[in-house]
Amino acid sequence: MTKPSRYERIAFVASPGSEAAAAFHQLTAQYGNCDPDEADVVVALGGDGLMLQTLHHHMRSGKPIYGMHRGTVGFLMNEYSTHDLRARLEAAHESEINPLLMRATDINDRVHLHHAINEVYLFRQTSQAARLRILIDERERMPELIADGIIVATPAGSTAYNLSAQGPILPINAALLALTPISAFRPRRWRGALLPNTAYVVIEVLEDDKRPVAAVADHEEVRRVRRVEVLSDKSISMRMLFDPGHSLEERILREQFGY
C-alpha cells in the first residue's frame, strides 16, 4: 500500500506574468488547488519577488513554502517541472529562517512596525548624504556615519541588496546579521560589521530636518524617520523547501565562489 504524501493538499500561487500564469493552469489541472488555509504546502510560481510576497503572506502560518522559477530572478526558487511534484516535495530539504522586525519612529513620533525577510535599510531622501548614529545593544558603536544609507541584512538577504553594496555573503544557518554601509563617505574605510543575530540595532538619524531619511523593510517604506530599531524576530520561523543539491545553503555557498 502506497504511503500517503505529507503534501497531498497543495495551494498554488502565481505572479501575473504569462509564464507563471501558464504554469499555474497546468499544475492546478494536474494536482488540484487547495485553499491556502487548508493546504499542507504552498507552491509559489514566479520569481524571488513572489517568493518574498508569499513568505510575508504566510509568515505566521508555519506552512512550508516551495518555489518554482517562472519569473525573472530565481535565487530563492527551484527549477520548474510538472513531473511528480509530490515526490519532489517529499524529497525536498527544509531551511528555516527568522525575519527581522523593524520599529521605525518618524519625525511626528508615529511608530511603524514591519517585518523583513531580506533586509532593513535606511537611505537618504534628498541629494544630501544621511548622517546616522549607530548603537548596538544600547551601546554607541559609531557616533556619526555619513553615507547614502545603511543595511541590516539576514543570511537569506545577504545575497540581495547587501551583496550589491559590497556586503558579505552569510551562510544561511549562520547566527549573524550583516551591517553594511551604502556608499560611505565618512569614515571612508569602514566596510561594515558582522553582528550576532541576537543584536538589538538602533540607528538614529542626525539632522532629520535637513537630511531626511527613509527606512525600508523589504518592500514597506517609512518616510522621514528619526529612529529605527531592528532585531531578529525569533517568535516567527518560516519554512522554505529546496530540491536536494539546490538548497538555500548550497546556493549561498556557490555565490561565494562566483558561480
Annotated binding site for NAD(+): 48-49, 118-119, 148, 156, 159-164
Q: Interior CA angle at 173 toward 15 and 168, to 5°? A: 80
- Longest distance between any two alpha carbons in the chain, whole Å: 72
For the annotated binding site, the residues are 48-49, 118-119, 148, 156, 159-164
Residue carrying the nine cell digits 531551511 = 95
Q: Which residue has the cell 527568522?
A: 98
Residue of 48, 137, 208, 243 with catalytic role? 48
Can 218 be counted among the known catalytic residues?
no
DSSP for 68-117 reads EE-SS--TT-BPP--TTHHHHHHH-EEEEE--EEEEEEETT--EEEEEES
- Tell me the backbone φ, ψ of residue 173, rounded to 5 degrees: -90, 5
Contact between 54 and 13 under an 8 Å Cβ cutoff? The reply is yes
Active site residues per annotation: 48
